[in-house]
Amino acid sequence: MIKKFLKLFSNHTLLFTLVSILLGLIIGALILLAAGYNPLQAYGVMIQGIFGKPKYLSYVIIRSTPLILTGLSIAFAFRTGLFNIGAEGQFIIGSTTAVAVGYFLHLPMILHIPLVIVCAIFAAGFWGGIAGYFKARFGVNEVISTIMLNWVALYLQNFLIYTHGFQKPGGEVSYSIQPTASIRFLNEWKLSDEGTQWLIEHPFWRDFFKTPINWGFLIAIAVAVLLWFILKHTTLGYRLRAVGFNPNAAEYGGINVKKNIVISMTIAGALSGLAGAVQVMGVSHNVSLLAAMEGYGFDGIAVSLIGSSTPAGCVLAGLLFGALKYGGPKMQPAMGAPSEIINIVIGIIVFFIAMPQLIRLLLKFTQKKKETVTETVEIDYVG
Amino acid sequence: MPSKQIPVVEMKNITKKFGDFTANNKINLTVYKGEVHALLGENGAGKSTLMNILYGLYPPTSGEIYINNKLVEIKNPNIAIQHRIGMVHQHFMLVKPFTVTENIILGMEKTNRFGILDLKKAAAEVKELSQKYALLVNPDSRIEDITVGMQQRVEILKALYRGADILILDEPTAVLTPQEIYELGKIVHNLTNEGKSIILISHKLKELKIMADRCTIIRRSKYIDTVDVSKTSEEELAAKMVGRKVSFVVDKEPKTPGEIVLSVKDLMVKDNRGISVVNGLNLEVRRGEILGLAGIDGNGQSQFLEAITGLRKVESGKILMNGADITNHTPKEIFESKISHIPQDRQNRGLVMDFTVAENMILETHSNKPFSKNGVMDHHQIKSFTTKLIEKFDIRPTDETKIAGTLSGGNQQKVIIAREVTHDPDLLIAAQPTRGLDVGAIEYVHESLVKQRDENKAVLLISLELDEVMNVSDRIAVMFEGKIVGLIDAKKADMETLGLMMAGGGSA
Ligand SMILES: Nc1ncnc2c1ncn2[C@@H]1O[C@H](COP(=O)(O)OP(=O)(O)OP(=O)(O)O)[C@@H](O)[C@H]1O
Ligand SMILES: [Mg+2]
């Protein structure tokens, strides 16, 4: 099972991705060099900032979690031939719903947590489904409708934050969710006598647990496995992929193309909504006034692209992204190197991955004899 | 036949491997200046692969290519073009929303001194070329609006515009109407008269006999022989290519048809532009008969089929299947009423090209037992089902995990036929079922259709090839301008009467 799961991230695609990442890092190094910084030192600081302490690792995981989920959302829609630019808005709907249900309701934890998650998934799934319905019913391109829905979601959240009963007095933020809706790791145990004792005896974990580390990451992994299962082993996944590859053949085969478009966008919306909920329940506990998009959805596009739209790929790409985004900016205080460099590196990686032809050429160059390999890359990438 | 035999292309000992699979195994090919050289071989024999190598799309694993006696390495199509090689692919490679001229000059755009695209000049050049070789096209039409035959002429012009002296035509006639094939023959003649050499891939032996000078035969990736076409009979060619004797006539016992299976009443259907193309069509197909639908392309056949199979809206009229109304039902409901359909357009309708062969085999039945239970697929069942069909229908290579898009054209068609026949339908609709198939495979498909009929099923065969319709059918219905204009017993049919009826004259 696990072997199969890893196999999805097929060798050639993996090779291809690794080359892109390497190129991104090399070009980033050249830029650092041109700006007068020692790239080895800068990357050293970054790596130190990622792996240096258990706490850092913990933060990388926290940063990765929402990106993995939005990445999965975009990847899933993509497998059905849809481009879900709306992850951003679905994320917002999910997080706002999570705050509302998490704050207003008072329930025991065992009910509260699942209820918050389910509500957020439903609301954001509905939000994504709107775009799917518009596409299926009126032929409205999902790229356009989801971009518009993103702004609607943003202003909806801002409107709610200024609503009496929701806004926390004295701030441009909402009230925080009840403790019963939090998914922080072992929150109470950490403060109990027994917990403090154990943590003192285990310094690694003490440092690791200093952060708002939460169940979100495990939820994301579970969801990735679930999606892999759906795509690979269920008739639903079969139909969605058929529609994505060739809607004409799907229609001929008796598959209801329109229905599957709505289903796909609904599931994609639900996934982004889950990302928002997990972020609220695990990290922020509230939502605040948004001046602009936060970028979880847009980063998700890059994650999905780097992960070649496979579930396992999204998990790895999400972690990479989280690490770069967390460790990269540490260059700035340490040596004054602009932290924007890391955004450039990410941009370049995405750029190379989106430009398969060039990488293929590079691969061909290095292994002239084994031309069959490069041909399979082509097929893999399409699949 | 050219008087002097000057070799322009020599491929020596070409081997091509895809992973473990050898698609070309030490193949030799020599083409003379001014000749039409045919390449003959079964589906999946490796013809397209060999030509893709010559055109620089695949590097050969080993072997040498000489162009005009010079050893060359053709790394990509640009180098092929530099060596004056042009190729028209089995599946066209045109940009649909672009015009004819835009497609022809794509990648070779000439600009005026301000760096602006000079379309007028290009259009004039295209016109000149098209007149020189009688390649009639309308330079300003969009590709999506023109017929397949014209699209093909655009592909040929595209190659000529790039200065091709050696032209590869990969199954150019598979998608053409008889009239268009006749015109292509003339074009080929004009080209060779100008000293151009043509490599022609075709499964239609009759055409080869007319068009080609010499013929190289490949069987299962290996070189078999090169023969003089005028001195070799069709039977000999077929035997060399398949490795056994092939029968060209369809054997079938007389049979009395049973009750009505499909009944179409006063059917009206519109095409994409909203023009009514099926105008009050009436037709009945009975158990135990093969009804052949003859007609010139564009008389509403495609729309008629789409209407029966639920892919197009019926404006008015009724379609009854086993007495039950299926008018405007969904494709799924229609499938469940026991209609199977071998669609005309295999790449667009019949297959999901990015799916494996196994995944394609369950396109309609994936949610049925034993392929899935409670929404979870049973990959073992799917695999064993597919392996059986691969063996039974001789699909090559015998690998159910192969991506459908990498199969040879003929084998793609076999996948569809295997799937549709296996549904055990009451009515099998077969639209151009043998398009692109080799003679051996055609024999097999015809046998399968007859077997369906012998098992007391109804078969509706649509083909643009009169030979096929006359050979296989029990009754022939002629379609003209969206109506059935005549219905005759196949045994009593002759080419001339049918031809006349198809053109709208006479009736029986
Ligand atoms: N890109 C590819 N990857 C893997 N296998 C391939 C690829 N292209 C072709 N093949 C295999 O090589 C064999 C030869 O294919 P090819 O297309 O040359 O056949 P063909 O002689 O043109 O047949 P047809 O008459 O059906 O068009 C087939 O078995 C096919 O599956
Ligand atoms: Mg071919």
Output the residue whose Cα is nearest ligand 1's atom 24: B43
Residues A73 and A118 in one domain: yes
Residues A353 and A283 in one domain: no
Asked if A372's CB is within 8 angstroms of B17's CB, the reply is yes
Maximum Cα–Cα distance for chain A, whole Å?
A: 70
Residues B226 and B253 in one domain: no
Task: Kindly state whether residue B344 falls inside one of the protein's structural domains.
Answer: no
Tell me the residue range of the domain where A67 lies: 43-337
CB within 8 Å of B121: residues ≥ 6 apart: B110, B112
The size of the A-B interface in CB pairs under 8 A is 77
CA dist., res. B230 & res. B249, Å (int): 22
Average pLDDT over residues B281-296: 94
Put simply, whether the predicted model's pTM sits higher than 0.90 gets the answer no
Query: Of the candidates B205, B219, B153, B174, which has an alpha carbon nearest to the alpha carbon of residue B409?
Result: B174
Query: Of the candidates B366, B331, B344, which has an alpha carbon nearest to the alpha carbon of residue B434?
Result: B344
Residues B275 and B234 in one domain: no
Residues A20 and A52 in one domain: no
DSSP reduced 3-state for B18 = strand
CA dist., res. B48 & res. B39, Å (int): 9
CA of B165 to the centre of ligand 1 (A): 26
Residues B21 and B129 in one domain: yes
User: Residue B223: which CATH number?
Assistant: 3.40.50.300
Task: Kindly state whether residue B442 falls inside one of the protein's structural domains.
Answer: yes
Query: Of the candidates B379, B471, B373, B388, which has an alpha carbon nearest to the alpha carbon of residue B422?
Result: B388
Shortest distance between the Cα of A85 and any Cα of chain B, in A, equals 24
Scan for tokens 């009206």, then name that residue: B268
Q: In what side-by-side order are the strands of the sheet with B483-489? A: B339-342, B427-431, B458-462, B290-294, B475-480, B483-489
Scan for tokens 């959240």, then name that residue: A157
DSSP reduced 3-state for B13 = strand
Residues A50 and A126 in one domain: yes
Question: Hey, how many other C-beta atoms are within 10 angstroms of the C-beta on A146?
Answer: 32
The tens place of each residue's pLDDT in chain A, 383 residues long, gives: 445 444 444 456 777 778 888 888 888 888 888 888 888 888 888 899 899 989 999 999 999 999 999 999 999 999 989 999 999 999 999 999 999 999 999 999 899 999 999 999 999 999 999 999 999 999 999 999 999 999 999 999 999 888 888 888 888 888 899 888 888 887 677 777 888 888 888 888 888 888 888 899 999 999 999 999 999 999 999 999 999 999 999 999 999 999 999 999 999 999 999 999 999 999 999 888 888 888 899 899 989 988 888 999 999 999 998 998 888 888 888 777 777 777 787 788 778 776 765 666 666 555 443 333 333 333 332 22
CA of B487 to the centre of ligand 2 (A): 36
CA of B46 to the centre of ligand 1 (A): 6
Residues B310 and B215 in one domain: no
Q: Does B104 score more than 60 pLDDT?
A: yes
Domain boundary at B242, B263, B278, which? B242
Rg (CA), chain B: 24
Domain boundary at B242, B276, B291, which? B242
Residues A245 and A155 in one domain: yes
Residues B10 and B101 in one domain: yes
Tokens representing A80? 């059905």
CA dist., res. A348 & res. A355, Å (int): 10
Residues B262 and B231 in one domain: no
Residues A160 and A16 in one domain: no
User: With a 6 A CB cut-off, is B413 part of the ligand 1 pocket?
Assistant: no
DSSP reduced 3-state for B111 = strand
Residues A25 and A99 in one domain: no
Query: Of the candidates B368, B347, B338, B473, which has an alpha carbon nearest to the alpha carbon of residue B416?
Result: B347
Residues A202 and A239 in one domain: yes
Residues of A in contact with B376 (CB under 8 A): 233-235
User: How does strand B483-489 pair with strand B314-321?
Assistant: unpaired
Percentage, residues of chain B above pLDDT 90: 59
Residues A16 and A153 in one domain: no
Confidence grade of residue B402 (pLDDT, cut at 50, 70, 90):
very high
Residues B51 and B140 in one domain: yes
Per the CB < 8 A criterion, the answer to whether A55 and A210 are in contact is yes
Residues 301-330 of B with CB under 8 A from A: 309, 311, 330
The predicted pLDDT at position A21 comes to: 83
**Cβ density class B328-351: b for 16+ within 10 Å, e for less:** ebebbebbebbbbbbbbbbbebbb
Residues B197 and B311 in one domain: no
Chain B residue with minimum CA distance to A236:
B375
What amino acid occupies position B23?
A
Give the bridge partners for B487, in sequence order. B477
Q: Angle of helix A257-279 relative to helix A235-245, nearest 10 degrees?
A: 110
Residues A14 and A140 in one domain: no
Residues A242 and A138 in one domain: yes
Scan for tokens 């690979």, then name that residue: A232
Say how many domains are in chain A: 2
Is B22's Cβ below 8 Å from some Cβ in A?
Answer: no
Scan for tokens 């009804």, then name that residue: B291
User: With a 6 A CB cut-off, is B22 part of the ligand 1 pocket?
Assistant: no
Tokens representing B1? 């036949």
Which region among B10-24, B454-468, B487-501 has the lowest average model confidence (pLDDT)?
Answer: B487-501
Question: Hey, how many other C-beta atoms are within 10 angstroms of the C-beta on B424?
Answer: 11
Query: Which one of A10, A233, A238 would you mutate to disrupt binding with B, by most B Cβ within 10 Å of its Cβ?
Result: A238
Task: Kindly state whether residue B343 falls inside one of the protein's structural domains.
Answer: no
What amino acid occupies position A243?
V
Asked if B403's CB is within 8 angstroms of A379's CB, the reply is yes
Task: Kindly state whether residue B10 falls inside one of the protein's structural domains.
Answer: yes
CA atoms within 13 A on the CB side of A305: 23
* B356-389 pLDDT, tens digit each: 999 999 999 999 989 999 999 999 999 999 999 9
Tokens representing A116? 């918050």
Residues B96 and B227 in one domain: yes
Phi, psi of A81 (to 5 degrees): 80, 20
* B178-211 pLDDT, tens digit each: 778 888 899 999 999 989 999 999 988 888 999 9
* A101-119 pLDDT, tens digit each: 999 999 998 999 999 999 9
What amino acid occupies position B168?
I
If one residue of B25, B40, B48 were mutated to test the ligand 1 pocket, choosing by the most ligand atoms within 8 A of its CB, it would be B48
Which region among A333-342, B15-24, B213-222, B436-445 has the lowest average model confidence (pLDDT)?
Answer: A333-342
Q: What single DSSP character describes residue A288?
A: B
Per the CB < 8 A criterion, the answer to whether B492 and B481 are in contact is no
* A223-273 pLDDT, tens digit each: 999 999 999 999 999 999 999 999 999 999 999 999 999 999 999 999 999
Query: Which one of B73, B308, B313, B352 would you mutate to disrupt binding with A, by most A Cβ within 10 Å of its Cβ?
Result: B352
Give the bridge partners for B72, in sequence order. B65
The predicted pLDDT at position B167 comes to: 95
Question: Hey, how many other C-beta atoms are within 10 angstroms of the C-beta on B94?
Answer: 20
Angle (CA) A205 A206 A208, round 5°? 60
CA dist., res. B308 & res. A44, Å (int): 68
Residues of A in contact with B383 (CB under 8 A): none
CB within 8 Å of B64: residues ≥ 6 apart: B11, B12, B13, B14, B71
Rg (CA), chain A: 22
Say how many domains are in chain B: 2
Task: Kindly state whether residue B89 falls inside one of the protein's structural domains.
Answer: yes
- Compute CA distances B160 → B95, B104, B164, B279, whole Å: 18, 9, 5, 42
Residues B148 and B90 in one domain: yes
Is B35's Cβ below 8 Å from some Cβ in A?
Answer: no
Query: Of the candidates B489, B485, B494, which has an alpha carbon nearest to the alpha carbon of residue B473?
Result: B489
- Select from A233, A235, A248 the Cβ nearest to the Cβ of B349: A248
Hey, which of A332-341, B63-72, B86-95, B176-185 has the most confident mean pLDDT? B63-72
Chain B residue with minimum CA distance to A370:
B61
Residues B236 and B253 in one domain: no
User: Residue A325: which CATH number?
Assistant: 1.10.3470
Q: Among the residues of chain A, which ranges form H helices?
A: 2-7, 11-34, 39-51, 54-79, 87-104, 109-138, 142-161, 187-191, 193-201, 203-208, 216-233, 235-245, 247-252, 257-279, 296-306, 311-327, 331-335, 340-353, 356-366, 371-382
User: With a 6 A CB cut-off, is B60 part of the ligand 1 pocket?
Assistant: no
Chain B residue with minimum CA distance to A246:
B352
CB within 8 Å of A113: residues ≥ 6 apart: A180, A181, A183, A281
Asked if B354's CB is within 8 angstroms of A245's CB, the reply is yes
Tell me the residue range of the domain where B18 lies: 3-242
Domain boundary at B215, B242, B269, which? B242
CA of B41 to the centre of ligand 2 (A): 9
Question: Hey, how many other C-beta atoms are within 10 angstroms of the C-beta on A266?
Answer: 23
Tokens representing B307? 């209407």
Q: Among the residues of A81-208, which ranges form H helices?
A: 87-104, 109-138, 142-161, 187-191, 193-201, 203-208
Residues B78 and B171 in one domain: yes
- Select from B59, B354, B375 the Cβ nearest to the Cβ of A235: B375
CA dist., res. B492 & res. B143, Å (int): 41
Per the CB < 8 A criterion, the answer to whether B74 and B83 are in contact is yes
Q: Which secondary-structure segment (H or E) carries B23?
A: strand B21-32
Tokens representing B380? 């073992």
Task: Kindly state whether residue B204 falls inside one of the protein's structural domains.
Answer: yes
Scan for tokens 């999901």, then name that residue: B352
Give the sign of the dihedral formed by CA B433, CA B435, CA B440, CA B442.
positive
Question: Hey, how many other C-beta atoms are within 10 angstroms of the C-beta on A192?
Answer: 11
Residues of B in contact with A233 (CB under 8 A): 376-377, 379
Question: Hey, how many other C-beta atoms are within 10 angstroms of the C-beta on A373?
Answer: 15
Per the CB < 8 A criterion, the answer to whether B296 and B463 are in contact is no
Hey, which of A106-110, B25-29, B248-252 has the most confident mean pLDDT? B25-29
Question: Hey, how many other C-beta atoms are within 10 angstroms of the C-beta on B310?
Answer: 25
Omega of the bond prior to B433 within 30 degrees of 0, cis?
A: no
User: With a 6 A CB cut-off, is B410 part of the ligand 1 pocket?
Assistant: yes
CA dist., res. B151 & res. B92, Å (int): 8
Average pLDDT over all residues of chain B: 90
Average pLDDT over residues B102-107: 84
Asked if B331's CB is within 8 angstroms of A254's CB, the reply is yes
Asked if A236's CB is within 8 angstroms of B354's CB, the reply is no
Q: Angle of helix A87-104 relative to helix A54-79, nearest 10 degrees?
A: 120
Of residues B93 and A188, more confidently modeled: B93
Is B132's Cβ below 8 Å from some Cβ in A?
Answer: no
Shortest distance between the Cα of B116 and any Cα of chain A, in A, equals 27
Tokens representing B421? 């026949």
Per the CB < 8 A criterion, the answer to whether B32 and B57 are in contact is no
Q: Which ligand is nearest to the CA of B397?
A: 1
DSSP string, A174-215: BPPPPGGG--BTTHHHHHSHHHHHHHHH-HHHHHHTTS--BT
Residues A83 and A142 in one domain: yes
The predicted pLDDT at position A10 comes to: 47
CA dist., res. A54 & res. A206, Å (int): 9
Task: Kindly state whether residue B219 falls inside one of the protein's structural domains.
Answer: yes
Task: Kindly state whether residue B370 falls inside one of the protein's structural domains.
Answer: no
The predicted pLDDT at position A9 comes to: 45
Residues of A in contact with B379 (CB under 8 A): 233
Average pLDDT over residues B97-108: 84
Tokens representing A100? 């509302």
Is B377's Cβ below 8 Å from some Cβ in A?
Answer: yes
DSSP reduced 3-state for A268 = helix
Scan for tokens 């007495």, then name that residue: B323
Average pLDDT over residues B119-146: 83
User: How does strand B166-170 pair with strand B62-67?
Assistant: unpaired
What is the distance, to the nearest Å, from the Cα of residue B21 to the centroid of all Cα atoms in its chain? Answer: 25
